[in-house]
Amino acid sequence: MNLRILYLPHSLADITLQEDRSSPLVGEIQQMLIDHNLYHGPITNKYDAATSQAITLFQEEEKLPATGMIDGVTYCRLHQASISQITLSPITKRADFTLPRGNILITKSSRQLTLFNGNDPVRQYPVGIGKQATPTPLGDYAIALKIMNPGGMLGTRWLGLNYDSYGIHGTSQPWLIGTMVSHGCIRMHNSNVEELFTLVKIGTPVYIRD
């Protein structure tokens, strides 16, 4: 059985993930399906019959073609309906609030960005990272620049690091989140980077680990 990730317009080709291949993107989809109580298996990062059935149920709920396959519309709809499992208390959702002891951990192996307040995790987001030819650099950095609506491939927010031209930003290609695709920057869903943008300030530490 295959899972075809169908690119949205402007894409060049379909991605076909074989059942015996592993992809963090499939694991992200499985987690979102768990959030909707549609998938009850383990996070395997592999497409299987149970994952396909859960996708079909979600498509039926959303009145989309029930194919059991993830196309661009299904993926974006699934992501939009999923909220990070680690949530802030209501008092921290003011537009002018920044975490007093905020720090960011980016884990390349799991393609995840975790936002901490001190030692307490408060948000976790899936990310895209650098491809093998242009890897995301490991190290300890800090947020040095914040730009709203940088546009183009950078999506709706830019959080520049104090190292070369690397940064955390949104994307105009959300279906690539969870993959190794960038020139070294960290890509996030626009809705996620917009939230992160409001919670961090210039000088927030950023730790990038394998």
DSSP, residue by residue, the chain: -EEEEB--TT----EEEETTS--HHHHHHHHHHHHTT---S---SS--HHHHHHHHHHHHHTT----SS-BHHHHHHHHHT---SS---GGGG-TT---TTEEEEEETTTTEEEEEETTEEEEEEE-BEE-TTSPPPPEEEEEEEEEE---GGGTTEEEEESSTT-EEE--S-GGGTTSEEESSPEE--HHHHHHHHHH--TT-EEEEE-
Question: Residue 82's pLDDT band (boundaries 50, 70, 90)?
Answer: low
Q: Give yes or no: 169 in active site.
A: yes
Q: What is the pLDDT of residues 36-69, one digit of tens each?
A: 888 988 888 888 888 889 999 988 888 888 888 8
Q: What is the pLDDT of residues 115-171, one digit of tens each?
A: 998 888 899 999 999 999 999 999 999 999 999 999 888 999 999 999 999 999 999
Q: Exactly one of 76, 169, 183, 189 is catalytic; which is it?
A: 169
Q: Exactly one of 40, 79, 185, 189 is catalytic; which is it?
A: 185
Q: What is the pLDDT of residues 177-199, one digit of tens each?
A: 989 999 999 999 999 999 999 99
Domains and CATH numbers, the chain: 2-80 (1.10.101.10), 90-209 (2.40.440.10)
